[in-house]
């Protein structure tokens, strides 16, 4: 019978498997700069990337920068983004944060966790995605999917995403964080879903658990 892997061996196996499967990690959300990425990530809360990618071209055609976005009414933004869900809250956040970027940051998205998290509708996960993917700063954005897989793979017993983020940062080297968080998302979608999970088709679960 195969000996159970310890945590260090599990971490190594997971990283090697993900690197082999996903050597390239394109960002799933359509964007062209830090501002459009910020808006796309904000819209992706409780919404699929696929749906966001259908909506953002319509929105960015009208306004792909804070100056143009600030000119649109909240009502107009809300109508465009309605299919993404939570549109009343998200439309207000998009309008407000665009005005704050103009007033406080010369229309630029700040390269700073604390300043990003001060913006309406921007939590720690959104700030982490922008810092890692727009600015290349090491961050480990943990959403509910990564939280679920980290628990399933026994990398954390964290009861919340904050604890899971700390545990994953401790287990994996800083230089792989930005790529790894996307690799885990891709793997979860393809092989390790929440429902209908087939362990035989899931090489990581089949090997490490």
Question: Is there a catalytic annotation at residue 8?
Answer: no
Same domain (yes/no): 19, 67? no
Residue written as token pair 């964007």: 31
Same domain (yes/no): 86, 177? no
- The answer, yes or no, to whether residue 79 has pLDDT greater than 50, is yes
Name 113's Cβ contacts closer than 8 Å, sequence gap at least 6. Answer: 124, 127, 128, 131, 139
Q: What confidence score (pLDDT) does residue 4 get?
A: 82
Which residues span the domain enclosing 189? 7-26+139-208
Cα gap 26→143, rounded to integer Å: 17
Predicted confidence band of residue 158 (pLDDT cuts 50, 70, 90)? confident
Same domain (yes/no): 146, 190? yes
Predicted confidence band of residue 94 (pLDDT cuts 50, 70, 90)? very high
- The answer, yes or no, to whether residue 2 has pLDDT greater than 70, is no
Cα gap 47→87, rounded to integer Å: 11
Q: Which of 78, 90, 143, 167 is catalytic?
A: 143
Contact (CB, 8 A) for 186 and 26: no
Q: What confidence score (pLDDT) does residue 1 get?
A: 46
Percent of the chain with pLDDT over 70: 99
Predicted confidence band of residue 45 (pLDDT cuts 50, 70, 90)? very high
Query: What CATH number should be reported for the domain holding residue 160?
Result: 1.10.1670.10
Q: What confidence score (pLDDT) does residue 183 get?
A: 98
Supply the mean pLDDT for the chain: 96
Q: What confidence score (pLDDT) does residue 209 get?
A: 86
Q: Which of 125, 179, 198, 201 is catalytic?
A: 125
Contact (CB, 8 A) for 142 and 151: no
Same domain (yes/no): 62, 117? yes
- Tens-digit pLDDT profile for residues 143-157: 988 999 999 999 999
Percent of the chain with pLDDT over 90: 94
């Amino acid at each position: 019978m195969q000996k159970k892997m310890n945590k260090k061996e599990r971490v190594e196996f997971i990283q090697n498997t993900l690197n082999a499967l996903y050597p390239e990690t394109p960002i799933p959300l359509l964007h062209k700069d830090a501002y459009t990425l910020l808006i796309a990530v904000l819209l992706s809360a409780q919404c699929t990337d696929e749906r966001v990618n259908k909506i953002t071209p319509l929105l960015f055609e009208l306004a792909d920068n804070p100056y143009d976005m600030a000119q649109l009414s909240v009502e107009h933004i809300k109508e465009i983004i309605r299919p993404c869900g939570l549109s009343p809250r998200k439309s207000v956040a998009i309008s407000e944060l665009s005005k704050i970027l103009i007033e406080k940051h010369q229309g630029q998205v700040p390269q700073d966790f604390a300043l990003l998290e001060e913006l309406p509708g921007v939590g720690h996960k959104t700030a982490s995605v922008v810092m890692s993917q727009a600015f290349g700063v090491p961050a480990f954005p943990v959403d509910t999917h990564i939280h679920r897989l980290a628990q399933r793979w026994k990398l954390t017993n964290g009861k919340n995403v904050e604890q899971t983020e700390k545990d994953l940062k401790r287990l994996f080297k800083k230089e792989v964080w930005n790529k790894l968080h996307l690799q885990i998302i891709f793997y979860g979608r393809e092989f390790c879903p929440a429902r209908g999970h087939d362990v035989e088709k899931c090489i990581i679960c089949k090997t490490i658990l």
